[in-house]
Amino acid sequence: MRRIAVSLALVLAAIGCSRQQPPAPPASAPSAAASNAPVTGPFTAQELGQFTALGAIDTHSHAFQNAPALYALLKKLNLHTVDILVVDDYDPEQKDLSKERADAWKVVRGSDGYMVLCTTFDPFQFNQPHFAQNAIRGLNRDFAQGAIAVKIWKNVGMEIKDAKGNYIMPDNPMFEPIFKDIAAHNKTLIAHLADPNTIWEAPNPASPDYDYYTQHPELYMYAIKGAPPKPAILVARDHILEANPNLRVVGAHLGSMEADFTQLAQHLDKYPNFAVDMAARMPYVEMQPRADIIAFITKYQDRLIYGTDNELFPKSNAPETMKEWENRYADDWRYLATNDTILYRDKRVQGLALPQSILRKLYHDNAVKWFPGVLGSSH
């Protein structure tokens, strides 16, 4: 029971990428006994050997606590991670970029080379004089210390408005010098722009995102008068790809095209500078017919990057949170790498048993290619 509840809580907690959630209610245990009973919980010793051999990289995490339990887990799993900064004015712990930045650097430096930083800029400063120059100064300071990427978050397009009440879109010319600077430094832009379709649709308790939007009405676009439609935000994102062909852009959360793999495929075909991470969207992957998703992953095996959206905040109970992290790594790996039966929201899903060559790309090679420097410098 405990193991399943933890997995479900993780799925629900991650959808918004860093806004914190209360734990999900416990799920009921499956009526075990059956030989194909769902497998979940931490790695077994044998599984751990297979996982550590991958040299896995999680390119999407948010860790802001200098916690020995975190470093011990990374070492145990032989796992590198990218620690991503986000400025969130609704979250007291993520409102202040300078504090978050200092916390994250402590974590990166404490990690014995297992973590690297993805920095960000504060978009709420957009109406201040010299916005872009100031943002670039902060980014370049982080680049000089080893930061490998920059995050732009969904509050651009879904939340921040100018004095006239118009939403600031991601392709606003004010951001362009920032994108140019990122490309000039051979760093990567992580773009979490827009959100799942369900955020624009009437409430649906069956949606994987239901708990998220009921807990974050400020981002529930369906209920906000005058909010930009999702396609407008994605078009603005695409303008960045078109205007900056030398900028590597990794679309977080399947590039927010989680419900339409045809649309995602078209984007990957059209924009060679675009790849996507799978963070917090495994439920959408798992909902696809098995043969279809195997075909999709096989075709785009060079453009899909493993990530989780795992979070560790300054006040989190680190040892407990690390159990949840490990369970998620184990559950995701079982789905991608084995034939095991996985349980997702009371639905049984069969693992994809992807070949080793593809697993290695999803977990390692693509991260190295799309995020130069991701393996850091030590050990």
- Straight-line distance from the first to the last Cα atom of the chain, in angstroms, rounded to the nearest whole number: 38
* Beta carbon of residue 85, minimum distance to Zn ion (angstroms, whole number): 10
- Using CA atoms, how far residue 239 sits from 10, 91, 193, 262, 305, in Å, is 33, 29, 12, 20, 22
Q: Does 264 bind Zn ion (CB under 5 A)?
A: no
Q: Does 11 bind Zn ion (CB under 5 A)?
A: no
User: Looking at beta carbons only, is 309 or 340 nearer to Zn ion?
Assistant: 309
* Beta carbon of residue 371, minimum distance to Zn ion (angstroms, whole number): 15
* Beta carbon of residue 292, minimum distance to Zn ion (angstroms, whole number): 26
The answer for residues whose C-beta is within 8 angstroms of residue 208's C-beta and 6 or more apart is 11, 12, 15, 196, 198, 283, 284, 345
* Beta carbon of residue 116, minimum distance to Zn ion (angstroms, whole number): 15
CB-based contact 138:163 (threshold 8 Å): no
User: Looking at beta carbons only, is 59 or 172 nearer to Zn ion?
Assistant: 59
The answer for residues whose C-beta is within 8 angstroms of residue 273's C-beta and 6 or more apart is 241, 244, 245, 246, 247, 248, 249
User: Looking at beta carbons only, is 142 or 309 nearer to Zn ion?
Assistant: 309
* Beta carbon of residue 226, minimum distance to Zn ion (angstroms, whole number): 26
* Beta carbon of residue 108, minimum distance to Zn ion (angstroms, whole number): 16
User: Looking at beta carbons only, is 20 or 125 nearer to Zn ion?
Assistant: 20
Give the residue among 323, 326, 256, 269 at the shortest CA–CA distance from 79: 326
* Beta carbon of residue 354, minimum distance to Zn ion (angstroms, whole number): 24
Binding residue (CB under 5 A) for Zn ion from 9, 11, 15, 17: 17
User: Looking at beta carbons only, is 10 or 17 nearer to Zn ion?
Assistant: 17
Q: Is 284 left (phi over 0), alpha (psi -120 to 50) or beta?
A: alpha
Task: For the segment 24-83, give every residue that binds Zn ion (CB under 5 A).
Answer: none
* Beta carbon of residue 250, minimum distance to Zn ion (angstroms, whole number): 12
Q: Specify the 3-state DSSP secondary structure of 62.
A: strand
User: Looking at beta carbons only, is 9 or 17 nearer to Zn ion?
Assistant: 17
Return the number of other C-beta atoms located less than 10 Å from residue 202's C-beta: 7
Q: How far apart are CA 176 and CA 247, in angstroms?
A: 11
Q: Does 282 bind Zn ion (CB under 5 A)?
A: no
The burial of 29, by beta-carbon neighbours within 10 Å (0-12 exposed, 13-18 middle, 19 or more buried), is given as middle
Give the residue among 114, 56, 126 at the shortest CA–CA distance from 83: 114
Q: Does 159 bind Zn ion (CB under 5 A)?
A: no
* Beta carbon of residue 337, minimum distance to Zn ion (angstroms, whole number): 23
DSSP 3-state percent helix, strand, coil across the chain (nearest 5): 45, 15, 40
User: Looking at beta carbons only, is 12 or 132 nearer to Zn ion?
Assistant: 12
The pattern of x and - marking residues 111 through 150 that bind Zn ion according to CB under 5 A reads: ----------------------------------------
The pattern of x and - marking residues 285 through 324 that bind Zn ion according to CB under 5 A reads: ------------------------x---------------
User: Looking at beta carbons only, is 88 or 326 nearer to Zn ion?
Assistant: 88
Q: Specify the 3-state DSSP secondary structure of 117.
A: strand
User: Looking at beta carbons only, is 61 or 273 nearer to Zn ion?
Assistant: 61
User: Looking at beta carbons only, is 286 or 309 nearer to Zn ion?
Assistant: 309
What is the number of the residue whose Cβ is closest to Zn ion? 17
Give the total of residues touching Zn ion (CB under 5 A). 2
Q: Which two tokens stand for residue 250?
A: 């990794």
Q: Which residues pair with 119 in a beta bridge?
A: 150
* Beta carbon of residue 16, minimum distance to Zn ion (angstroms, whole number): 8
Q: Does 365 bind Zn ion (CB under 5 A)?
A: no
DSSP string, 12-57: HHHTTSS---PPPPPPPPP-TTSTTPPP-SSPPHHHHHHHHHHT-E
Q: How far apart are CA 152 and CA 154, in angstroms?
A: 7
Residues of this chain that bind Zn ion (CB under 5 A): 17, 309
